[in-house]
Structure 1
Amino acid sequence: MKAGEVGRIIDTILSIPGMNDPVKIDLKMSRKQVLLLSNVIARGLNGKDEQADGLLESLSSESKGELELLSAECLQKAGLTELYEKLRALGK
């Protein structure tokens, strides 16, 4: 499929009624998984994922901001915010 077609399909799926409704998800994750998830989110939002399928490219800035907040909240709850920032600084 062409990128434009993929974007339209994803936009259609994200427009389905109820997609903006909040859901409660009770997750038990290791700190390692939290660090890895935050890194994957950051890479995807920064366009550093070469395997992108068009989903992240079609997200609005509001949706991207929500993903960044989710990542930050997970790091904060795991007590890993400072470590994550230091690891990011090493990677630059």
Structure 2
Amino acid sequence: LQHHERLNGSVYPKGEKIANISIFAQIIAVADVFHAMTCERVYRSKQSSFNVIEMINESEFGKFDIKVVRALIDIVADLPIV
């Protein structure tokens, strides 16, 4: 349930802020956004891993724990470019 929350309280279901969101939910939140944007959808085409990382790192700044985002960046940086 908490993986939809953002650290700044901007998303549902309760509008929780950082102190009330578990680290596990924060990790799942970043992974969920990354997965959703890098997979093909009926309503849009998939985006490259690197574009998604840039979006998460810049336009979503303050919504995700920076340590979690950095961990994702470290993992994606090791992925082959295809």
Tell me if TM exceeds 0.5. no
TM-score (norm 1): 0.38
The structure, 1 or 2, with the larger RCO (C-alpha pairs under 8 Å, 6+ apart) is 1
Q: Which has the higher helix share?
A: 1
TM-score (norm 2): 0.41
